[in-house]
Structure 1
Amino acid sequence: MSKISPDYLALQRLYHWEKTAPTRVALTQPMGAGAVQDFTWAQVADHSRRMAAHLKAQGWAPGSKVAILSKNCAWWMMSDLAIWMAGYVSVPLYPTLAPDTITQILTHSESKALFVGKLDGWEHMKPGVPAGLPCMSYPLSPDDAKQAYEGWDAIVARTAPMKESPVRGEDELATLIYTSGTTGLPKGVMHSFGNFAWALDRGLQRIPLTQDDRMLSYLPLAHVVERMLVEHGWLRTAMHVYFAESLDTFTADLQRSRPTVFFSVPRLWVKFQQGIHHKMPPAKLNRLLGIPLIGGLVRKKIRKALGLDQCRFAAGGAAPMPLALLEWYGQLGIAINEGYGMTENLALSHITEAGKNQRGTVGPTYPDVQQRIDPETGEIQMKSQALMQGYYKEPEKTAEVFTPDGWLKTGDKGSIDAQGLLHITGRVKDLFKTGKGKYVAPAPIEDKLVMHEAIEACVVTGANLGQPLGIAMLNADAVAQSASAEGRAALESSLSAHIKSINATLDPHERLQCLVVTTTAWTVDNDVITPTFKVKRNRIEDLYAKHYEAWENSGKTVLWQS
């Protein structure tokens, strides 16, 4: 076990920048109507110290839990720092959760208070907050939250800053990160300050962050990757973090921040691609890219339009990246490094190496991370000093996810090639057997299916059917097109051709019998996707399994389901 330098623990990093770079801008927060508010390191520290003094004055026992329910913003980060400084443990909640899930997490974590921050659906979420739980609001909170709860600025204005600079030991619990729950209820993953510091040490050997870098924070800070890469990367390096204002302003937010390091989930990389194809058809784009001088200008123009013209390191993760998508971005001069990890290991497991063509894999392990494949199940197992302390208050579930010799069971299937690169082939539990007794791994087929420009998300299923079938959610443009008989017919023709081309690449038992398309959005609210855009397979089965036999016997390649 390697020891962590105390200087690299989260709070010590704040004190370091407070002392050595007080006037450097640390955070840039959009305030609406084009206005922004900058926070220097001195201001971040001052706000955090004042809020910490307020929290500590409540007299809760050391190690008490304090929750944050908000979209990403400067006050989210300062709340986290204040909670730690006061001697407490932070509990972030996704800003899109259903009220029942909010109740479950706040109750299970025994949270003593809640920061209610920047939210789009507060009216829907509010019933999930237990009666009597003390709450505080942010300057960008919904109006009724600002009226109901004392605001950040008021608390900071009336509270003297904490003069001491308390430190937290590497073995102390820093946070509970509740998993997004693709199966069952979310579990509270316990991570220490030392876990984060060790993971940053190894992560920075592959992702070269410096104080000169810029990142746009827009994926939920409640998710482990954003927490690690943005929040803790910021604390370690003093890079400049910008926040996104809204979905509608996202392009402008990217162009304002011009990130030098950018991470996104596959679904959003696909949406960027579809947006480009909407303005320039694929055939025309490919033709222009093939012309030496013009191709270079087109690449530069597209990267600038995306706000990624200054990006020197791009990454994807949280779900498999389709190989065709990686190749497409490679043509534009954007090399996407694919990462792999879990909440349980702080997302520090594998990542492809910059400058090397390792497409089709998630690369080698990070330094000092061990990997192996279970010879019986093909499951990927790993071990490192970033492994969680366990699931909060759930020792039985903790025991289930570790082997007797202390390796984390990822639940993913894979293989390791001669170069030590990891190939992920699917989920151990996602494999299903058709009625012909053949096993099908859905993930590689879904990677191909989602590449159609009309498809937003998809699932391949079919346990006990003669052949697998696909279920796909159309994106907004395709839904609008399907409103007319002519548009629907054109979509059907295009999707049929897509299925035919995919089936030509598959073994006979893997070929899709049909594709069912739905115009009803899969959302967090209707419980079909998680806050990180992963489709809940068990929920798909609940909604659609009763139709499988009829769909299989329909004789149609493309079917419509409202």
Structure 2
Amino acid sequence: MNKLYHLAEYPQRLRTRFAHKTIIRYYDALKSVWLSLNGEEVADKCLDAAKALAREGIKPGDRVGIYSPNAVHGVMAEFGLYMMRGVSVPLYATSTPEQVDFIVSDAELKLMFVGEQFQYNNAFEVQQRSNTLERIIIFDDNVVLHPEDKTSMYYDEFIRRGDSKTNENKANVTASQALSNDMALIIYTSGTSGRSKGVVLRHSNFMKQIEVHEKLFRFVTPKDVSMSFLPHSHIFEKTWVYFCLYMGCTTAILKDPKRILQALPEIKPTMMCNVPRFWEKVYAGVQDKISQASPLQQKILRHAISIGERYQLHYYNEGKRAPLHVSLLYKLYKNTLFTKLKRVLGLQRGRFFPVAGASLSVEVNRFLQSVSIPICFGYGLSESTATVSFCPLQGFKIDSVGEILEHVQVRIDPATNEIQLKGPTIITEYYNNPEANATSFTADGFFRTGDAGRLEGRVLYFTERIKDLFKTANGKYIAPQMLEGLLATDPIFEQVAIIGDGYKFVSALIYPNWEILRKEAKDRGVDTERSEEELAKDYEVYRLMMAHIEHALGSVAQYEKIKHFTLLSTPFTIESGELTSTLKIKRSVVAKKYAEQIAKMYEEANIRTVEPQ
């Protein structure tokens, strides 16, 4: 049987089709080595998890949490849960006790897998006041249990306790009874504001997405190696991992995303899905290196990028034959400078890099295409089981989010320009949330994305999150993500939050790359042997940064330009609550936390009008 209709069938597929092929690699930090599992070993471990869950009394429809950094045990536990027709509820590893408490209560979690000490401590704290959470299973055997904890157990013990023929029979029988409309996951949106919503995804949603992607990405083969370092609680990474496992690709699971630049040269992946922020940092790093090169080297590097852009975007992407001299120069640069760049990053074998999760500036996209890094930018949401549209490797519109998948209906609301969706991969409900269900769907069943956009045939263009759009006191609409994306192309801007709702002009909170800023300031005669707080107040530093802002925003309308800004000495982080788990800015949190600095910017300009909404 080739076609599957339930994720519970994955282990058997791995056993029969890829028994002796490496399917998963994972890093052992204690031994500092990457370990491998073949298809049969993965299938055995999934069955082990299912048997242990059977012993715990997990029944079809029971919700089980997975609160951990990326872990090989997490993958096995999830597929074991699917075999038992249970529902996986992934939590971001950075979730706070308050966030965990909400999800445990809302989803009525009976059991939770946790990764490391941080997750265990938070989960145990929540368990003490929970009426539903009966047991915590711990992946990392280095975790120290609370002295009063009498119910938790380590994963290895959990597996040993389930090892019986009775539990095996129960797991296999339950898996054989699985139905395509079984609930598979409840993914709670991190959200930039408001209450988290539980996105209900069914096995039919995933299997349709896998079926469609198998046809679209025929070039993906079992020889491919995919680096998996985005959180497995992120719908983009989760769906991509499912696709790679289905295709028999090797998936390298990275627990610590901070090791990504070290891990890439070790794994040398052919594929990797990622968010725009990663590629923005690559772009900024290259631009910084170019600026430090000699005039001759700068000329050569910029010429190489220019040739790459002409060949890739003006000819290849348009299906045209490039002039001979352009082809020869591109081949020369591709085999020298571009290959060297990719080798430094560990991407020299890269064939396909899907990118989604946030806006990607055209400039960064153009650069990556020019230096022969084959990214594939797309658009999707948790509510759409990831992909709604994506740019093909040839024939794409660089300022779009790609061509809509054939099975998805997309329309644009004429009143608000909202993108609305319907189809077999689009959700029909949020879990335990009648209020959200009443407002999130149209009368004829289309899902309201909250994103603004436009259509040209089947090509989709994303404008902005509707709730992120704001109006200045002068009545002008501002798209903050667009401005932040333009600034991100300059390596001196590490993080930017655009401000201006209800004010006469646009301002910004900026966390700069202090290393670059100090170097440029020193070159301009500024005393840089001072703290970042002191440098942030220096007038010459202010002028320097304003020059960068003017250059980056040279293409926008006058009313969209930043007139004032404040430099920050600490970055926005997930832990401090200013970023979502997908690295989007929580604008309401930022506005509240930095209210004093924001007020001061407008007071200094002496033209503040009304309080921001």
Same fold judged by TM-score > 0.5? yes
Partners in 1 of 2:293 and 2:472 — Cα distance?
Answer: 37
Q: Would you say 1:152 and 2:193 are equivalent positions? A: no
Shift of 1:200: 1.4
Partner of 1:486: 527
Q: Does 1:237 align with 2:247?
A: yes
Determine the structure 1 residue equivalent to 2:280: 270
Q: Distance in 2 between matches of 1:406 and 1:552?
A: 44
SS of structure 2 residue aligned to 1:348: strand
* Aligned equivalent of 1:189, options 175, 183, 199: 199
Residue pair 1:73, 1:118 contacting (<8 A) in 2 also? no
Alignment correspondent of 1:85:
83
Distance in 2 (alpha carbons) for counterparts of 1:272 and 1:160: 50
Measure the CA separation in 1 of the matches of 2:590 and 2:432: 30
Cα contact 1:56–1:87 (8 A) shared by 2: no
Q: How does 1:290-439 map to 2 (within 5 A)?
A: 290=303, 292=329, 293=332, 296-417=335-456, 419-439=457-477
The question of whether the paired residues in 2 share the 8 Å contact of 1:414 and 1:426 is answered with yes
Partner residue, 2:611: none
Q: How does 1:432-451 map to 2 (within 5 A)?
A: 432-451=470-489
CA distance in 2, matches of 1:71, 1:19: 29
Question: Residues 145, 294 of structure 1: CA spacing in aligned structure 2 closer, same or farther, 3 A cutoff?
Answer: farther
Q: 1:68 to 1:506 in 2, by over 3 A?
A: same
SS in 1 for 2:467: coil
The question of 1:528 aligning with 2:578 is answered yes
Do structure 1's residue 538 and structure 2's residue 588 form an aligned pair? yes
Task: Give the Cα–Cα distance (whole angstroms) in 2 for the partners of residues 545 and 189 of structure 1.
Answer: 32
Q: Following TM superposition, by how much is the alpha carbon of 1:241 offset from its aligned partner in structure 2, in angstroms? A: 0.5
1:277-296 correspondence runs (5 A):
277=287, 279-281=289-291, 286-289=298-301, 290=303, 292=329, 293=332, 296=335
- Taking the aligned partners of 2:419 and 2:495, their CA distance within structure 1 comes to 25
TM-score of the pair, normalised by structure 1? 0.91
Superposed counterparts of 1:41-80, under 5 Å: 41-80=39-78
Higher alpha-carbon deviation: 95-104 or 249-258: 249-258
1:516 aligns with 2:572: no
1:505 is matched with which residue?
Answer: 555
Alpha-carbon distance between aligned partners in 2 of 1:67 and 1:6, rounded to the nearest angstrom: 28
Distance 1:479 1:533, change over 3 A: farther
Task: Give the Cα–Cα distance (whole angstroms) in 1 for the partners of residues 546 and 120 of structure 2.
Answer: 41
- Pair 1:175-2:185 in alignment: yes
Distance in 1 (CA, whole Å) between partners of 2:445 and 2:514 is 46
Secondary structure of the 1:554 match is helix
CA distance in 2, matches of 1:6, 1:503: 50
Cα deviation digits, residues 175-214 of structure 1 (max 9, x gap): 1111112111211111111110001122333344322211
Using the size of structure 2 for normalisation, the TM-score is 0.84
My pick for the range that moved more, 70-79 or 263-272, is 263-272
Equivalence for 2:143: 143
Structure with the largest fraction of helix: 2
Alpha carbons of structure 1 residues 480 and 113: separation in structure 2 relative to 1, 3 Å: farther
Deviations 1:213-265 (A, max 9, x none): 111111000010011011x1133211111012434532231122222112111
Structure-2 change in CA distance of 1:326 and 1:551 (3 Å): same
CA contact (8 A) 2:288 2:491 kept: no
Distance 2:398 2:128 in 1: 47
The answer to whether the 8 Å contact 1:99/1:126 transfers is: no
Partners of 2:489 and 2:552 within 8 A in 1? no
Number of corresponding residues: 550
Q: 1:94 to 1:479 in 2, by over 3 A?
A: farther
> Structure 1 CA distance, aligned partners of 2:269 and 2:108?
38
Does the aligned pair in 1 maintain the 2:390–2:403 contact within 8 Å?
yes
Residue type of the partner of 1:151? Y
Q: Which amino acid aligns with 1:204?
A: E
Q: 1:76/1:478 Cα in 2 relative to 1: closer, same or farther (>3 Å)?
A: farther
Deviations 1:14-48 (CA, angstroms, capped at 9, x unpaired):
21221232222211111114222212222212122
- Alpha carbons 1:137, 1:145 under 8 Å: kept: no
In the aligned structure 1, how far is the partner of 2:576 from the partner of 2:408?
Answer: 38
For 1:57 and 1:219, the matched residues in 2 are separated by: 32
Pair 129,268 (structure 1): closer, same or farther in 2 beyond 3 Å: farther
Unaligned runs of 5+ in 1: 557-562
Give SS of 2:458's match.
Answer: coil
Provide the secondary structure at the position in 1 that maps to 2:24: strand
What per-residue deviation string (whole Å, max 9, x for no partner) do you get for residues 445-477 of structure 1?
121122221222222221221111122223464
C-alpha distance in 1 between matches for 2:568 and 2:52: 50
Letter of the aligned partner of 2:80 in structure 1? A
1: CA distance between counterparts of 2:550 and 2:108? 53
